[in-house]
Amino acid sequence: MELIVTVGERQERVRVERDGAGWTVRVGAAAYRVDQQALGPHHRSLLVAGEQHEVVVLPRGEGRYWVSSRRGGALVAVTDVLSHLAAVAAGGAARRSQRVTAYMPGRVVAVLAAEGEEVAAGQGIVVLEAMKMENEIRTEHAGVLRKIAVTEGQAVEGGDLLFELE
Amino acid sequence: MVERRSLHKVLVANRGEIAVRVLRALRDLGIRGAVVYSDADRRSLPVLLADEAYRIGPPPSRDSYLRGEAIVAVAREIGADAIHPGYGFLAENATFAAACRDAGIELIGPPVEAIAAMGSKIESRRLMRAAGVPVVPGGCDPLATIEAAQAAAAELGYPVMLKAAAGGGGKGMRLVATREELASAFRAARSEAAASFGDDAVYLETFLSRPRHVEIQVMGDRHGHLVSLGERECSLQRRHQKVVEEAPSPAVTPELRRRMGEAAVAAARAVGYYSAGTVEFLLAADGAFYFLEMNTRLQVEHPVTEMVTGLDLVRAQLLVAQGEPLPEAFTGAVPRGHAIEVRLYAEDPYRGFAPSPGRIELLRWPEGPGVRNDCGVYEGVEVPVDYDPLLGKLIVWGEDRGRALARLGRALEELRIEGIRTTAPLFQALLADADFRAGQLDIDMLDRKLAAGELALPAPPPGRDLPLVAAALAHFERCQRVAGAPGEGGGRRSRWSESGRQDALRGGVWS
């Protein structure tokens, strides 16, 4: 299976193949033979040429995974090649849009803008409170607020949509 | 004559790791342990470990763990002899202490009068001065006018610190370097104090440059015994919140320990203290120390004192509450070896320490020689959004500071907490910091280094393929599960794992 995998700025073609009881995973030009043991629903031990890596791979919505090893974590996006090509052809890259979700459970203390409003990059839109701390959730770029999905006083879960920007 | 009564059942009016700590001491003594819990904590570790558990209200603290009257009512109803308040919530609340006394329920801690006397900043300063305990030079009285402030500052000598009488947490505080700055700082501090505390009274103190926070653990009984158990170094703080504590302090000699211990005992004696308490001091670079405040309760960081003295402070609190004299081992305690505690908060150091509640997907605490965990959570539990984010404390002991640091490094390598972010990476960054390793600490150091970006949080090297490989495999499996394809089994493991070992011999695996 051929996949497009993105971590931060880096994007690679990754091929995953069965290899006996294990796997061969090719990342660009590099090839790894991997023995993978599932230790729990999201908990894996990967043996790669004798090096042991205990990783936790938590699904974070459609094709997105939080991969955490002993040296820290990274958000990784995975898509198959066909979907990736379709998205590029549809001009997904050209139209900049932002779907902002709550990265933690909490309460909405304030909504600072209205639907349809033109907002600047870095403008605070929603104030979330959790563990006695308030956090302003801001825009990544300028645009128009297409949707505000929460109201003041509402409780949200991690991953819930807060607002959409176009 | 002190009345002795044995405790049969104790209600723990707290949550999280400190509730667990108290339940353990109760079980050690064969006393039944009950807890109160909010709706957010029904599945929490203390509820699972307690003999009895009673719902006290909805998640917000003011509707649950701060409902003093309701908690006293539960204690009466279930026939508890005593309440242990832990720290925070109702632990230093003189009204609650009085309510317990009126209900005939022992509150495990000092007398009500001691809690009340140490509760006021200005009042406790006056008391300490009268008891001969050094306080930071400066006034005890509010300054009414700019002229009065100028006269007081001239007498102390610049730089000076303006402080709110009702203050705390750095609010209403102003550093004044010269006479010219005083007038505007005076106005600003007063209006900030009024806005924050509803009281615009300010007073002046000498400014101490980069002091350490060093505190003395005291323990007393109702028979007049009051002892010092040595110091804890707590200079590493983020926004006035302690994050690392150790004992002994790298800056304290046996002679200084003796003098600080005597001052702390004098402070405690001045308010008729018994049970466990902590006298906090600022220690200046020249070795002078000044009373800051007294915490009239068990402290979060009490385990480092336990690790270097071999004593059990919570057990001693319970014995004292039964009217027993302090065990002999508490007299003449000297620190043996070195202990360090790190506080694991559900905060994300990669996002400016934003709260990180959620489900703990994986939890593995370090074990082995010299390691202690005081933990309030377990794998699978949800960390609620409603409370202080302290998950637990990791405490290590070594024969000396160097070995304790090495053990801390080892323990942090073993620790795994997944699903939420914690402050563990901060401690790995500190272990790589030369000043921390050398024990060169002061109360502003952590904030200063964080602001300057001097502490490098561990991060996977960019370009490393491990996250890509792990995510691709997980995605592949998900797609297969969705498609309903049966997984391929089969045993050709030996062939490729052998060639894998050969790869390893050639050096690095990952590009």
The whole-angstrom separation of Cα B33 and Cα B43 is 17
Q: How confident is the model at residue A127 (pLDDT cuts 50, 70, 90)?
A: confident
Instruction: Give pLDDT, residue B278.
Output: 98
Of B33-42, B211-220, B389-398, B498-507, give the lowest mean pLDDT range: B498-507
* Chain A residues touching B461 at Cβ < 8 A: 71
Q: What is the pLDDT of residue B362?
A: 93
Q: Which residues of A touch B474 (CB under 8 A)?
A: 42, 44, 57, 59, 65, 78
Query: How many CB pairs below 8 Å do chains A and B form together?
Result: 193
Tokens linked to A51: 């090096």
| Mean pLDDT, residues A66-71 | 86
CA of B429, closest CA in chain A: separation in Å? 12
List Cα–Cα distances, A41 to A37, A45, B360, B445, in angstroms.
11, 12, 13, 41
Helix (H) or strand (E) run with residue B125 in it: helix B121-130
Average pLDDT, chain A: 85
What was the ipTM of the complex prediction?
A: 0.72
Chain A contacts in chain B segment 329-348 (CB below 8 A): 346-347
**Residue B274: pLDDT band by 50, 70, 90 thresholds?**
very high
Query: Using CA atoms, how far apart are residues B407 and B153, in angstroms rounded to an integer?
Result: 47
Q: List CB contacts of B393: < 8 A, sequence separation 6 or more.
A: B17, B300, B301, B303, B341, B342, B343, B344, B373, B374, B375
What's the CA gap between B40 and B55, in Å, rounded? Answer: 10
Question: Mind listing the pLDDT tens digit for each residue in B41-98?
Answer: 999 999 999 999 999 999 999 999 999 999 999 999 999 999 999 999 999 999 999 9
The proportion of chain B whose per-residue pLDDT surpasses 90, expressed as a percent, equals 77
Go through chain A and tell me how many residues it has.
Answer: 166
Alpha-carbon distance of A45 to A35, in angstroms, equals 8
Residue A60 has pLDDT above 50, yes or no: yes
Task: Name the band, by pLDDT with cuts 50, 70 and 90, for residue B463.
Answer: low
C-alpha neighbours within 13 Å on the C-beta side of residue A29: 1
Asked if B385's CB is within 8 angstroms of A105's CB, the reply is yes
Label residue A91 by pLDDT band (50, 70, 90): low
Q: Which candidate, A61, A23, A138, places its Cα nearest to that of B500?
A: A23
pLDDT of B382 over the 80 cut: yes
pLDDT for B511:
60
Residue B354 touches chain A, beta carbons under 8 Å: yes
As annotated, the active-site residues of B are 297
CA distance B487 to B483: 11
The first and second tokens of residue B364, run together, are 């593995």
| Highest mean pLDDT of the ranges A10-24, A53-67, B199-213, B387-401 | B387-401
User: How far is B211 from chain A, CA to nearest CA, in Å?
Assistant: 28
pTM: 0.84
Contacts of B389 in chain A (CB under 8 A): 131
Nearest CA in chain A to B505: A49
Tens-place pLDDT, residues B223-255? 999 999 999 999 999 988 999 999 999 999 999
For residue B357, list chain A residues with Cβ-Cβ distance below 8 A. 104-106, 130-131
Quick one: three-class SS letters along B384-412? CCCCCCEEEEEEEEECCHHHHHHHHHHHH
